Structure 1
């Protein structure tokens, strides 16, 4: 991993953007993709700038020799954050969805109530509807101040991440600026 270059200093540019974002201000039209990626990673790793910086370094390494039009930030980030700060599972894989979201919320010492005693029970998972599980996770996170987001991948997968609810407006601005279509897990 290498430190952000002189054009973009992760500690200086938009340092408090994620928590001080004003939806009325919108995104700085001069913001680079790299700056927007940094802000997204801060949102995806609330209270964990070290992980955001490590993931940002991986992003910089992966894009070092590529022009901005040679890759889609969303797909590159998906691989960098998978099972650390985000998830992507097949649409009908309830077991992987429950497992990945459970692992993500454990970062904040939270446990979700999936509506059953054992959410890993094979019978429960065989009959589980992933859309209903997503709503359950969304509803279970809101009282704790978190929002479950889904990324519209255009594939037969469900992908997303969890952010602080206070950063909802920032997510609604930053993700589209990176070409990432998101919606909450609310339904």
Structure 2
């Protein structure tokens, strides 16, 4: 930036905006480089889904299914993908909250209680009428997030970036900036 009697060596000023076309020419002149960072590509989106799900989250999603999710989320931003994943994480919890019957199952882990409570249908031969509030959290069998949960969550969250906006970004980049990545 400009200034009299100031030493700005070693100082980098970085700015970001979602609406670069709203910047006036004086601001644009002060930034030598204007770089457009596009929405994530299919491989990046697959990695984002996997990252947002977390390493400790119990899920049954297979490696090839991350790519299926990425292919179904064209024009989604990283924030959009985060919203989808948070919704998918809540779906098993909602199922647990609505459950009226649970059964005892062996704990596959060696630490903790020997048996856990697993949500089941009322027609299951081992079903006991219980509500979630009556079960100790350490005795609850955590239901995994499934691909169905991910697809249902994806259906509830649309991309927040419109085709019109993408066109504006391209036009601004052609006129004032350069492509990034």
- The TM-score, its normalising length taken from structure 1, stands at 0.31
| Higher relative contact order, chain-length normalized (CA < 8 Å, sep 6+) | 2
- The TM-score, its normalising length taken from structure 2, stands at 0.32
